[in-house]
Structure 1
Amino acid sequence: MFKPILGLKGSSTRVQIDDRLQHHPSVYEFFTAASDFTPDGYRHLYDAIQYVQSQGIHRIILHHPMKFGNHHSDVVAPERYYPDLYRFIETTTEQLIRLGHDLNVRVLVHGGYSGPEVEHMVNLYPSVEDARQAVYHRLDRFADEGGDQIMFENSIAPVFAYGHPDQEDEILAHHYRLAFDTSHCFIELHGDNTGLQRSLRHLAPAVVHYHLVDSMGQTHDSLQLGKGKIDWAPVLPLLNPAATSIYEINLHDQANCKEQLASHEYLLDIYRQLKEG
């Protein structure tokens, strides 16, 4: 059975890194931003990764920047209509893959986000299926370039969502290394715990990393574990024990990861109860 490990998330700023490192996490995930991809920002990110490694943490994930200007970094964005966003995603993914190879860290790219803009982007294609195939085509290229260094995370958009067996079969056929965000799947399924469990079971062999997040199942709320409606006791045995994980929780103070720590304690309690039962 999957044993909860302490995986924490933060930026490349020393304040956030040192806040997380004092708790001796097994995994650190960098939340990158567009500013990390200027010449100075890239050097700073490179140094920050080496600093985390120097503290004995070697399971490191680099989360592709969520935003470029006012846009989410949606890989479905057609180059014809969003040339700057398209190029930003291309160049930053290339840079992250290079970092991954240079420093032996892993890269996470979103298969999509959610909201009116991504719906507009999807509508620029002849059909949802055409939009989905465009996403697969792009992710195929990234997978070829990134190899074992890259993984792809599920969205709450029709182009790369978990929770629908047919679409999951399509995704599995591409042999991607998957990141599984529990809240995204739960929201996609409108709060259906049975559906979430089915998806976790189906995709587990391909999953290399989890974002463990609670949710009320309606909007992107990123709740502390135990504060939402996900039933965690049945979830825990369905997670791939070989995968890494972090707690991707909204924080009241970005310099204090207490909500991530509380989520870990909550899941450890469930793990102990399951072991004893």
Structure 2
Amino acid sequence: MEKVKKPELGLKASSSERQLADRLKYRPTVFEFFTSEADFTKEGLKRLAYALELVKNEATSRIVLHHPMRYKGEFTELVAPQKTFPELCRFIRQSTEDLLQLSFDYDVQTLLHGSYARHTQKMIALYPSLAQARAHVYATLDNYAELGKDHIMFENSFSPIFYYGEEEEDRYIAARGYRLAFDVSHCFIRAHGSNQALTASLQRLKKQVVHYHLVDSFGKKHDSLELGKGAIAWEKVLPCLNPAASSIYEVQLRDENDAREQVASYHYLMKIYDKLNEPNSIN
């Protein structure tokens, strides 16, 4: 019987003092910084480095730096054509390099999205074909994988490019040898709410996953629910997780300065773990 990953308290926040104070009182074992455009000025990078040191000193050295989602209102899509979006592409390159520099300096991790979903289709339409758009993204990921080495990981979406949940695509991604971040809800949405497809994908990619975003969903839209509030079968998901990987609860908060839904998700998953480890339980 494979070892079941014991849930850990993984929390997410920006570098704001108020959010940091709230998260650090829980002493998380994993911490993920959600960065924004404002973090990539000279002062912003200093502030982020200070926050990173604070978390390392007071809580954990297992830290992930999440690449910013937007730049001047546009999603930071790797598929964005340089000719049409020169400033966006410049920001994506520079911000990724900035995060990787911090990751090498402080021995932490950078998380980069292979794609998002909201503007991906609009940008794919600027290429002669989906195949060419896809080839551009994978060439870009190859470059970043080489640049970031063991300090970079790539996260899935539910767009037509860089998603998990279909066997052919999973095996294609696995063959490229990337270090992966697996957002459970994104895969579930891509699989149209199929727990069977979700667990199959988790098993296929298990060895290459280094970080999980644990989020519930009903599988119809990007709803980012607290664990136990959606349709994901966590008692089936938990045994499929790589026990060596880190994880956080990337759930929607009622108040960004209060992590209670993240913490409640951890306690919910601990109950599932305890139940799976009861003497008479069958995994």
TM-score class normalised by the smaller sequence: over 0.9
SS of equivalent to 1:175: coil
The residue type paired with residue 25 of structure 1 is P
TM-score (norm 1): 0.98
Counterpart CA distance in 1 for 2:260 and 2:146 is 38
The corresponding residue for 2:169 is 167
- Aligned counterparts, 1:188-207, within 5 A: 188-207=190-209
The corresponding residue for 1:68 is 71
Structure 2 unmatched runs, 5+? none
TM-score (norm 2): 0.96
Deviates more, 1:122-131 or 1:181-190: 122-131
Counterpart CA distance in 1 for 2:37 and 2:143 is 22
* Contact preservation (8 Å) 2:22, 2:257: yes
Is residue 2:157 matched to residue 1:186? no
Equivalent in 99, 121, 130 of residue 128 of structure 1: 130
Is residue 2:15 matched to residue 1:9? no
Counterpart CA distance in 1 for 2:209 and 2:115 is 17
Q: Shift of residue 132 of structure 1? A: 1.2
SS of equivalent to 1:216: coil
Equivalent in 250, 253, 258 of residue 251 of structure 1: 253
The corresponding residue for 1:139 is 141
- Aligned counterparts, 1:92-241, within 5 A: 92-115=95-118, 117-241=119-243
Counterpart CA distance in 1 for 2:121 and 2:59 is 42
Q: Shift of residue 56 of structure 1? A: 3.7
SS of equivalent to 2:277: helix
Counterpart CA distance in 1 for 2:88 and 2:190 is 25
Q: Please give the per-residue CA displacement for 1:212-262, whole angstroms capped at 9, x wherever unaligned.
A: 000010111100000011011010000000000000000000110000011
Q: Shift of residue 129 of structure 1? A: 1.8
Structure 1 unmatched runs, 5+? none
Equivalent in 53, 60, 66 of residue 50 of structure 1: 53
The residue type paired with residue 86 of structure 1 is C
Deviates more, 1:13-22 or 1:204-213: 13-22
RMSD (Å) for aligned C-alpha atoms: 0.7
Q: Shift of residue 172 of structure 1? A: 1.0
The corresponding residue for 1:35 is 38
* Contact preservation (8 Å) 2:28, 2:59: no
The corresponding residue for 1:88 is 91
SS of equivalent to 1:9: strand
The residue type paired with residue 263 of structure 1 is S
Counterpart CA distance in 2 for 1:72 and 1:17 is 25
SS of equivalent to 1:35: helix
The corresponding residue for 1:262 is 264
Give the percent of matched residue pairs that are identical in Structure 1 and Structure 2.
50
SS of equivalent to 1:210: strand
Q: Please give the per-residue CA displacement for 1:194-223, whole angstroms capped at 9, x wherever unaligned.
A: 100110010000000000000010111100
Counterpart CA distance in 1 for 2:220 and 2:95 is 31
